[in-house]
Amino acid sequence: RSFASQTDGESRLVQVLREKFPQASAIKVVDISGGCGAMYEIHIESEEFREKRTVQQHQMVNQALSEEIKHMHGLRIFTSAPKP
């Protein structure tokens, strides 16, 4: 598949994350299981993460995706706050 097109799973996760993190300046979701939706890598840059420890940021993402995670084998999360 071309790099520009997203799988249905990627699109769905991006949509959920945009709703849960309205201040996000960047959201990137990549299916790293070859397109079958079993494992994803997520990168989110959001003001909501500022002043929070990494573990807290990841808990926020896990909570936002709690329903979707039930159908996955794994999830890699990378979070950050925008540079001031």
pLDDT of residue 2 exceeding 80: no
Q: What is the mean pLDDT of residues 19-43?
A: 94
3-state secondary structure at position 47: helix
Spell out the domain ranges in the chain. Answer: 6-78
Residue 51 reports pLDDT greater than 90? yes
Which homologous superfamily is 6-78 in?
A: BolA-like (3.30.300.90)
Residues 6+ apart with CB under 8 A from 30: 10, 40, 41, 42
pTM of the model: 0.88
The more confident residue out of 84 and 33 is 33
pLDDT at residue 60 above 70? yes
CA pair distance 32, 37, nearest whole angstrom:
8
Task: State the average pLDDT over residues 6-20.
Answer: 94
For residue 37, the SS3 value is: coil
